Homo-oligomer: A and B are copies of this chain.
Amino acid sequence: MHSSTQYVYQFSEGDASMRDLLGGKGAGVAEMTKLGMPVPEGFTITTEACRSYMKNPDGIDAQIRQPVLDALAQLEQRTGKTLGDPENPLLVSVRSGAQVSMPGMMDTILNLGLNREVVEALGEKSGNERWAWDSYRRFIQMYGNVVMGINENIFEHRIDERKAERGVESDVDLDADDMQWLADRFLEDYRQAKGENFPTEPTTQLFEAIKAVFRSWNNPRAVYFRQMNNIPDDWGTAVTVQRMVFGNLSEDSGTGVAFSRNPVNGEKGLFGEYLMNAQGEDVVSGVRTPEPIETLKTRNPALYETFDQIVHKLELHYRDMQDMEFTIEDGHLFMLQTRNGKRTPQAAFQIASDLVDEGVLTQEDAVCSIDPTYITAMLHPRFTDEALKTGTMLGTGLAASPGAAAGRAVFSSDDAEAWSTRGERVILIRRDTTPEDIVGMHHAEGIMTARGGMTSHAAVVARGIGKCCVSGVSALQFGDDGSCTIGDHQLNEGDWISLDGGSGSVYEGKLETEPASMTGAFGRVMSWADRFRRMEVRANADTPEDACRSRELGAEGIGLCRTEHMFFRPERIDAIRRMIVARDEDERQAALDVLLPMQREDFKSMYEAMEGEPMTVRLIDPPLHEFLPKTPEAVASLAETTGQSVEDINRATAELTEVNPMLGHRGCRLAVTYPSIARMQTRAVLEAAVEVKREHPDWTVAPEIMIPLVSETAEFEYVKSIVETTAKEVISSSGISLYCSVGTMIETPRAALTAGDIAARAEFFSFGTNDLTQMTFGLSRDDAGSFLQDYYDKGLLKEDPFSHLDRKGVGRLIKMAVDSGRRVHPNLRVGICGEHGGDPESIEFCEDVGLDYVSCSTYRVPVARLAAAQATLGRHAPERR
């Protein structure tokens, strides 16, 4: 017994801050009540009562009976109506309401308090018998289904039966007699199903309804929703008991929903629709077409004026755009609910910007009012609404990289390049992609794959280069004849196809797109964000185009330039392959000598694109076998250019094959075995830097070279000395004054564990959290797709550790590394360049552990800018309730 616990609160006792206890709905109506708004009276039974009920279902009556009866008595006094009193009956709704919105997931009972006696009196008094009997049959139906678990179809069949008898199509066409008939049948059905009479005692109805709503917290769809949204199972729901008001009581009644501003474009002014003589479900069902809210102004100017004032007051009060439900009962306005309204990304920026101008929000508030993940959708073209309405969908996959694109189908990287060179727009369609497809991906407007998840090669690269991508299209099948099918649809090379990377949909033919519209409000809010954030934001970019785009999107430099991506261009891959299969150091050096000027040009273009912004270049990282030819023709060609036999090439390939390439001969291990590669790359970077500095003496050109996959201080020192020696050679022979800094990726657990030692020698750390996550979990990103779903299904993993940084394991290593690194080297520059660098949740962690910068894929840069500002300000974007 918790005699001291208050389980029931009148609306007048609560407020918006009591969300945990009263649920979103209960707190909302309490707050509106406090503000003096016209809210139907009521009280709320707390989430704590629900938790107590879940622990001990038999004890609840003793705990809440008296408080509920007391609250009911107060409610009766306040409304002047009495539950079950035919003369002046109080009818109530019994609604669920959790701390966070779980729309439609739990149950509600309306019109509670009705029995035959009350219904008859009500019909008589109101002069609306149909309404009275309709309300009664609805109540029986809901109570039977929700409280007693009677199959809904039983009642629905009755309605169909009656409509058939009466030869009508719609419920609206049933009259008062029909409703009474239905109520009688429902009562009979109830007795049949439960072996007892429908309860006529309103307090019995009330207590059973409250418990049923408690129970609905654990109905399967609610459980599933919580799992999907990381909501703890032990929160429980509050129950709000509220006087019923009826929008369908008369022609002077009505109901509607409204936003305080336009949720699509953010424009100021009421936006919404309503129906007279209707209930909420009528607005939704579409049987009658609702009217725009503006018409209410002429229909009832005084009421509209009142409503407009309430809306204004609510917006000022909540300091955000509101989404409201209201009901008009016999000309009286009642507010049923208000919450911060959902909106499009465009609207979010517009509203935030306007609210600052209106003095409602500070710039900090505005920056913190927007969910950073919204931004991505704004940066890409999208299909026009018209196109989406008329397009034929062929199938769906994962929304792997946003944007919309139409192009002609090609099935290989080479074809993508060939068609694109002819000036055609293409969509690259592959079973899955490998690094060899990168050239084709660059040439394509979009990429579609049959296999692979959100973190597959195709998805990661597409996001990185800002191409739209739909991955894992299971209906996609490849034929032997160079064509493919999606479901029944045959797709040949050259056929038009359209991808929506934001929704994962695939359309037949060529759909119209419209470009990204970045309104002035976007730029304005982002400039505030830039002022507030502590961390620097850089981009992961490997081409001059990416570099330019990332600067347009606000990157303050490149945090990760993956040099290997430059190797996949056709004119280079050949030299790289010759380097790999070289039989001695001379042959290797000869191939590297061919590559040197190419890499130098790469870096020069990058430096030019950056116009003096910094760039961190990572030495080659992937295992060399990734570069080797896979087709017999390519093998033969390599054999010819190198003067080796096909067998030699195949043997070299076989020797390089690895059991676990992720943990193999890659990263700085390549530089240890082949120092000449590291020398060539360093030389290319430094020579490029020297040339650019010579041509642009006013630019800051300070090369930063990053050594990947370090797990031991000695190997870092070894490769660092190669880099430094080479850099010194280039610099001293150039006569140009440059400083080249050398740092490392922290991406093996051991690097994190020994970061203190490494920091004594390194000038910067960059956390490679993709690999660090793989190694810390012992989980290959390429292989996890096959079983991680089982983990989500069984609730063993809440979220994808490759999308959101795992604070408990990976995060602990990062914190250890930052702390021990800074202890040894207080000015150590520390950043992150894994996929997590563009994830708001992970960016918050980066702020918490004191990183200096985050680096993320180009199109994530604005996301990171906003998220970093929110992290510095210590405020999340509010959830839209």
Contact = CB atoms under 8 A, between A and B. Distances in A.
Contacts of A783: 658-661, 663-665
B672 A809 contact: no
A830 interface: no
Contacts of A797: 712, 714-715
Interface stretch (A5-13, A156-164, A743-751): A743-751
A663 to B, nearest CB: 4
Interface string A342-356: 000000000000000
A277 B399 CA distance: 93
Interface string A641-664: 000000000000001001111111
A771 interface: yes
A436 to B, nearest CB: 15
A667 B783 CA distance: 14
Query: DSSP majority for the A interface?
Result: helix
Interface stretch (A190-198, A387-395, A582-590, A785-793): A785-793
Contact of A748 (B750, B777, B794, B795): B777
Given A660-B663, A779-B663, A813 B753 contact: yes
A663 B778 contact: yes
Interface centre among A748, A779, A787, A812 (most CB of B within 10 A): A779
A782 interface: yes
A373 interface: no
A463 interface: no
Contacts of A661: 659-660, 783
B790 A663 contact: no
A709 B778 CA distance: 8
A673 interface: yes
A305 to B, nearest CB: 56
A776 B794 contact: no
A780 interface: yes
A99 to B, nearest CB: 23
Contacts of A796: 672, 712, 714-715, 718
A810 interface: yes
Contact of A750 (B711, B778, B782, B784): B778
A97 to B, nearest CB: 29
B748 A778 contact: yes
Interface in A707-724: 709, 711-712, 714-715, 718
Contacts of A715: 791, 796-797
Contacts of A777: 663, 711-712, 748, 750
A174 interface: no
Nearest to A714: B796
Given A711-B809, A783-B664, A791-B672, A778 B747 contact: yes
A458 to B, nearest CB: 14
A751 to B, nearest CB: 8
Contacts of A673: 787, 790
A210 B809 CA distance: 57
A369 interface: no
Interface string A749-792: 11001100100000000000001001111111011101100110
A259 to B, nearest CB: 40
**What are the 5 A-B residue pairs with the smallest beta carbon separation, nearest first?**
A750-B809, A663-B780, A660-B780, A748-B778, A659-B782
25 contacts: A659-B782, A659-B783, A660-B660, A660-B661, A660-B783, A662-B780, A663-B775, A665-B783, A667-B778, A672-B794, A672-B796, A712-B797, A748-B777, A748-B778, A749-B749, A749-B813, A750-B777, A750-B806, A750-B808, A750-B809, A750-B810, A754-B808, A757-B808, A775-B775, A775-B778
